[in-house]
Copies of this chain bind each other. A is one copy, B any other.
Amino acid sequence: MDAKEGMENFIRLISAIPLFNGLPTEQLDAIRRIAVEKRYSKGQTIFSEGDKTTGFFVIVEGRVKIYKVSSEGKEQILHIFEAGQSFGEATVFTGQRMPANAQTLAQTHLLLFKRNAFVDLVSSNPSLAMNLLGIMSKKLRQFAAQIENLSLKEIPARLASYLVYLSEEQGTEDAVVLNVSKGQLASLLGTIPETLSRIFAKLSGQDLIRVEGPKIILTDRDGIENLAEHTKDDA
């Protein structure tokens, strides 16, 4: 009974994850059998660049940052993943070493799917493959947007883009709450804390936003949206 309850809990857990959406119970059970549960406290490293591929991860609870570090020690966050999202898919199919680092930003509960078992599962399971294709497509698109931001927009525009994104994410119109520290946000935007701090000050001075700790009030949402598109000039 305990085992059965455990299984039911597990099924409930993973059926809420987009990747496993719409899969029949039978296949969820197959997924359960190859999943390995992993738990981490805040700030722990899950894997490092150059590690050999372990498999791919689904976040049940918590938050994980995927990042690169330059030879001078500057960090660029590629992505921050939340509960329900997955990471490391690509390494499963290319079979190369991990191309980046992963670290928890909070206490985190993961499911690890080891490479071979997962590949077998996907190849015999078209719905799962289609889900995965959808998820990877979305990631490709996000990366393309990040490349665009880094190359074509100045930092104020990148920040504005991020604020707009957050407000959509959070379903709010006129205020957002940063879900990472400002230092981490700097790394996500491809800059450093000092610069980000100055840009917060500058946008505040232009009455586009008001900064109250981690809460950012969008006093001029149109202005922010406009800034998010353009690269420079203006007032």
A interface vs B, CB < 8 Å? 68-72, 74, 76, 78, 89-94, 96, 99-100, 119, 122-124, 126-127, 129-130, 132-134, 136-141, 143-148, 150-153, 190, 229-232
Contact = CB atoms under 8 A, between A and B. Distances in A.
Q: Number of copies of this chain in the oligomer?
A: 2
Contacts of A123: 126-127, 129-130
A94 B190 contact: no
A126 to B, nearest CB: 5
A21 to B, nearest CB: 14
B143 A140 contact: yes
A78 to B, nearest CB: 6
A232 B72 contact: yes
Contact of A93 (B89, B133, B150): B133
Nearest to A92: B137
A96 B134 CA distance: 11
A74 B137 CA distance: 26
Contact of A124 (B74, B92, B126, B152): B126
Contacts of A229: 71
Contacts of A143: 140, 143-144, 147
B129 A130 contact: yes
